[in-house]
Amino acid sequence: MAEALDCRGLVCPEPVIRTRALLQSSPEEVEVLVDNAPASENVSRLLAKSGYAPQVERREEKLWAVTASRAGVSCAAAEEVIAAAGNGEEKPCRTLVFLSSDTVGSGSDELGGRLMANFLATLPEMGSNLWRVVMVNGGVRLASTPGPCLDALKKLEANGVSLLVCGTCLDYYHLLDKKQVGETTNMLDIVTSLDLADKVIRV
């Protein structure tokens, strides 16, 4: 029987935190109930990274059931094996760019939008040091609104840069179904990313 976890009514990132705690007992099967789409995506990603094969079923208007069973070696374990087999070369600095708005600076939103487009288009100049871009609050519009900023983000992702887009923020701005790039994420992933980064650039 699957280990059941009812996370309805819990705000981000509590469903992920409780699911992670449940996984510490290494259950063969789990079922997590949530009441919003971002939570179902975040819980599913955590389960997949932890070596489970998740499936999401929408049972009611505000009820998602995430069920999963063990699928073998976790991604984290696989990454450790790959790292152990490395050639000993020094790793590049992991730089994280934190975007809390879809414009740069204050004064003119039109000018700020142009500056943001130029900023994103110039980020590839950082080379392999650019590790991750995190978008929160108004910054999630960048991943959802057609234009030069979205085009630049798509190029970054195609070049291997990790893009995390706050699910709570997407839901607040009614942009969940309009996101075109990046992974829907939660505050636990964001805080963990900030902790893992060697350098953080806030815009």
Per-domain residue ranges of the chain: 3-76, 90-202
Question: 36 and 11 in contact (C-beta within 8 Å)?
Answer: no
Query: Structure tokens of 28?
Result: 């063969």
Centroid of chain to Cα 190: 7
Distance, in Å, from the CA atom of 150 to the CA atom of 121, rounded to the nearest integer, reads 10
Of the given ranges (42-51, 74-83, 95-104, 125-134), which has the lowest mean pLDDT? 74-83
Name the residue with higher pLDDT: 84 or 170: 170
Alpha helices in 14-74 (DSSP H): 14-23, 37-49
Phi, psi of 171 (to 5 degrees): -65, -40
pLDDT attached to residue 84:
40
pLDDT band at 78 (very low <50, low <70, confident <90, very high): very low
Q: What is the pLDDT of residues 88-144, one digit of tens each?
A: 445 578 999 999 999 999 899 999 999 999 999 999 999 989 999 999 999 999 999
- 63-70 vs 29-34, strand pairing mode: antiparallel
pLDDT band at 80 (very low <50, low <70, confident <90, very high): very low
C-alpha dist (Å) from residue 111 to 103, 126, 144, 153, 203: 8, 23, 19, 19, 15
pLDDT at 29 over 50: yes
pLDDT band at 72 (very low <50, low <70, confident <90, very high): low
Nearest one of 40, 35, 32 to 8, comparing CA atoms: 35
Q: What is the pLDDT of residues 169-196, one digit of tens each?
A: 999 999 999 999 999 999 999 999 999 9
Distance, in Å, from the CA atom of 167 to the CA atom of 180, rounded to the nearest integer, reads 13
State the chain's maximal CA–CA distance in angstroms. 58
Region 90-202: CATH code: 3.40.1260.10
Tell me the pLDDT of the chain averaged across its residues.
Answer: 89
Query: Structure tokens of 192?
Result: 């963990």
pLDDT at 85 over 50: no
Region 3-76: CATH code: 3.30.110.40
Distance, in Å, from the CA atom of 62 to the CA atom of 68, rounded to the nearest integer, reads 20
Amino acid occupying residue 73: V
